[in-house]
Amino acid sequence: GLAMRRVLMYITVLMSFSGVAQTLVYICTGPKSLVFHRNTLCLGLQECRSSIIPVLRSEAKTAYRRRHCYLCYTLKPKKKST
């Protein structure tokens, strides 16, 4: 839920100070989950009915055998218009 997403965001911020944030991704621990996500706001991750955990990208690929999410790795963030 919302509380879990806040905790994950705090973890991301804390890990960024150690230089790990560039390789941190999120996975759903559900049995049908196949991908890793760039952040917890990805639409694909909204479907998770299990836990969402932060892992290193290399670990997501090897230990968890996940591929990148096509939604959050191909959509570019919108630029703010001033």
Q: What is the pLDDT of residue 18?
A: 55
Model pTM score? 0.66
- Encode the chain (82 residues) as per-residue pLDDT tens digits: 667 666 766 666 665 555 554 589 999 999 999 999 998 999 989 989 999 999 999 999 999 999 999 998 886 656 666 6
Number of other CB atoms surrounding residue 76 within 10 Å: 5
Residue type, 39: N
The candidate with the shortest Cα–Cα distance to 30, out of 46, 49, 44, is: 49
Question: 43: which residues sit within 8 A by CB, 6+ positions away?
Answer: 71, 72
Q: Name the 3-class secondary structure at 50.
A: coil
